Amino acid sequence: MPLTPNLPKNPRMNHLNIQNLKVNFHSREGIVQAVDKINLTIHAGEVIGLVGESGSGKSVTCSSILQLLPSPPARIESGKIQWSGIDLLRQNDQTMQRIRGKEISMIFQDPMSCLNPYIPILDQVAEPLVIHQICDTKLAKEKAREMLLEVGVQRILDHPNAYPHEFSGGMRQRAMIAMALITEPSLLLADEPTTALDVTVQAKVLSILKNLCEKLSTSILFVSHDLGLVAELADRVVVMYRGKVVEQNDTHSIFTHPKHPYVQALIACRPTLDVSEERLPTVEDFIHSGETRTPVPLKSSEPNPTSDQKNLIEARDLIVEFKTDQGVIRAVDKVSLSIKSGQTHGLVGESGSGKTTLGRTLLNLINKTSGEIWLNQEKVSGSGRKYNLGFRKSMQIIFQDPYASLNPRLTIEQTLIEPMIVHQIGKSQNERLDRVISLLEEVGLGAEHLTRYPHQFSGGQRQRICVARALTTEPQFIVCDECVSAMDVSVQAQVLNLLKSLQVNRNLTYLFISHDLGVVKFMSDEISVMQNGCIVETGSAEDIYQNPQTGYTKQLIDSIPAANRSASPIV
């Protein structure tokens, strides 16, 4: 779908001009430059995509416009942000309160934590009108209802007093959009507004945002780490890297002629659906940063002979039910699944489809209601010490959020050595330490990281630690539960490459769970699509993409941003 650039209707009116903005974070460890003298202009009616990996300073830039940076530790060192003839950085709180939410609105990434859980949605959406005294409370609620209907939150008709938790993620994000646009602001700052959403939902939310802003002729600063996503929407793309703007151009030019190596890397490292690769290119391939060393190279890149392998893990008629006040909910409904040794089985589906429950049930982290699980032709049963030391040793899991799944009070050394002590791997403490160091090197870290705490690592590094931890018990089977979903594309590529190389080196078997079809396809030999607790389709990765059998699978494929579907640049 070709994009016709929205030309500025009135370039003199209400344009935002960031000049030489410099923001530092002052902490006990020292001063960190978050934004380093950037310049950025947004014209009226224009949609700007601000792209970069986490820590690149894109969100900080976005937050500084409304003076929403947490201070301390953030400090704006220099620069100007011109808006309607005033410098936003020099305004007092009262003035800013008049601008926030009325002239400039903002949407945030996580619609769950960013909506107040204690206040009904309708009231929250109406609140900007009340705060800015545009109309009285009653009228504001009426307008809020209309706005919610406009963004597609039909539920508000039946549940006028619903609270955020009663809505799905997509609905909440729609409500956020309604809340931000209800005052018809001149500029909308959207900070990763769809990152936490499923692909299918992401597509819908994006189109609503686009249409509504066009209707209200609102300019957008769209912040995201996903270049493909930005391409759907933006007239112009600004790429930030390490606090600096590295490239700025119209969307088409960025994709066709990326100049800066980082931008080239960003475009290259997305797993796409139409090309099968053994290894994804990473940013390091383009810029040598020295931050992460290259993992131990692959032993062989020969694909595994699949046909004659035995089933490593097998699930038969698995049923998992949860008791709630509303009655019994069946999260996994008679699922049968088998994975051959050394292969990767991908599991895709929207959130709530039961794929996470299935993964955890295989590891007995959730009790199954009925059905059987077989590992190496042996029925998995029992509990307690025997089970812990037996089956658990051979089956491991890597979680979505590497931060939440690492104990914040244990050093990396403690985290990695403990499983070896429990499972009596290694004869002496020294031997174990050696193993830990070699594991760390295998995942691309080093001995110098041993004494650090999880919070001292970046997201990608943390996930590497989680991978290392899963490997400590030398398992045969690993469940990767959305393990790259929360990552920037560039980091995602590194972790995916790591997982692939480990599989080859250690003959691992994966169950790879994700909502991102592109990622699943890159990783998997076979793919199952899950919907409402059932597996609706299973087949080889290529078949599923080329020839989807169910409408649901088609829908999943169609929701992927065009730029991410194919490796070739969009025209």
Q: Which of residues 439-498 bind other proteins (CB under 8 A)?
A: 448, 450-453, 455-457, 466, 469, 472-473
For other proteins, the closer of residues 172 and 236 by Cβ is 172
Buried b vs exposed e over 307-334: b needs ≥16 C-beta within 10 Å? eeeebbbbbeebbbbeeeeeeeeebbbe
d(CA 148, CA 125) in angstroms, rounded, equals: 8
How near is the Cβ of 536 to other proteins at its closest, in Å? 28
Size of the site for other proteins (CB under 8 A): 79
For other proteins, the closer of residues 240 and 544 by Cβ is 240
Q: Binding residue for other proteins (CB under 8 A) from 10, 20, 71, 97?
A: 97
Lookup: tokens for 528: 């199952």
d(CA 233, CA 228) in angstroms, rounded, equals: 10
Contact (Cβ atoms closer than 8 angstroms) between residue 29 and residue 204:
no
Residue 353 burial by Cβ neighbours in a 10 Å radius (0-12, 13-18, 19+)? buried
Binding-site string for other proteins from residue 29 to residue 68, where x marks contact by CB under 8 A and - marks none: xx-x----------------------x----------x-x
Residue 547 burial by Cβ neighbours in a 10 Å radius (0-12, 13-18, 19+)? exposed
For other proteins, the closer of residues 184 and 278 by Cβ is 184
DSSP-assigned states of every residue in 173-194? HHHHHHHHHTT--SEEEEESTT
For other proteins, the closer of residues 337 and 362 by Cβ is 362
Q: Is 429 in the site for other proteins (CB under 8 A)?
A: no
How near is the Cβ of 27 to other proteins at its closest, in Å? 5
Residue 455 burial by Cβ neighbours in a 10 Å radius (0-12, 13-18, 19+)? exposed
The amino acid at residue 412 is I
For other proteins, the closer of residues 65 and 239 by Cβ is 65
Q: Is 105 in the site for other proteins (CB under 8 A)?
A: yes
Q: Is 10 in the site for other proteins (CB under 8 A)?
A: no
Q: Which residue, 338, 50, 430, is CA-closest to 221? A: 50
Q: Which residue, 3, 566, 565, 482, is CA-closest to 196? A: 482
Q: What residues from 168 to 227 belong to the interface with other proteins (CB under 8 A)?
A: 176, 179
Contact (Cβ atoms closer than 8 angstroms) between residue 145 and residue 160:
yes
If one counts every other C-beta atom within 10 angstroms of the C-beta of residue 374, the result is: 15
d(CA 336, CA 34) in angstroms, rounded, equals: 49
Q: Binding residue for other proteins (CB under 8 A) from 352, 392, 504, 505?
A: 392
How near is the Cβ of 135 to other proteins at its closest, in Å? 15
Q: Which residue, 229, 196, 187, is CA-closest to 108? A: 196
Q: Is 244 in the site for other proteins (CB under 8 A)?
A: no
Binding-site string for other proteins from residue 139 to residue 178, where x marks contact by CB under 8 A and - marks none: ------------------------x-xx---------x--
Residues in CB range of 89: below 8 A, 6 or more apart: 64, 67, 76, 79, 80, 81
- DSSP β-bridge partners for residue 33: 24
Q: Is 137 in the site for other proteins (CB under 8 A)?
A: no
Q: Binding residue for other proteins (CB under 8 A) from 77, 285, 418, 543?
A: 418
How near is the Cβ of 389 to other proteins at its closest, in Å? 6
Tell me which stretch binds other proteins (CB under 8 A): 200-208, 279-287, 405-413, 503-511.
405-413
Q: What residues from 306 to 335 belong to the interface with other proteins (CB under 8 A)?
A: 325
Reduced to 3 states, what is the DSSP secondary structure of residue 298?
coil
How near is the Cβ of 492 to other proteins at its closest, in Å? 19
3-state SS track over 471-536: HCCCCCEEEEECCCCCCCHHHHHHHHHHHHHHHHHHCCEEEEEECCHHHHHHHCCEEEEEECCEEE
For other proteins, the closer of residues 117 and 297 by Cβ is 117
Q: Is 15 in the site for other proteins (CB under 8 A)?
A: no
Q: Is 552 in the site for other proteins (CB under 8 A)?
A: no
For other proteins, the closer of residues 307 and 326 by Cβ is 326
How near is the Cβ of 477 to other proteins at its closest, in Å? 11
Q: Is 131 in the site for other proteins (CB under 8 A)?
A: yes
If one counts every other C-beta atom within 10 angstroms of the C-beta of residue 381, the result is: 11
For other proteins, the closer of residues 412 and 527 by Cβ is 412
Q: Binding residue for other proteins (CB under 8 A) from 100, 143, 172, 521?
A: 100
Q: Is 108 in the site for other proteins (CB under 8 A)?
A: yes
Strands of the sheet with 104-107, listed across from one edge: 104-107, 187-191, 219-224, 47-51, 236-241, 244-250
Q: Binding residue for other proteins (CB under 8 A) from 48, 245, 363, 487?
A: 363
How near is the Cβ of 396 to other proteins at its closest, in Å? 6
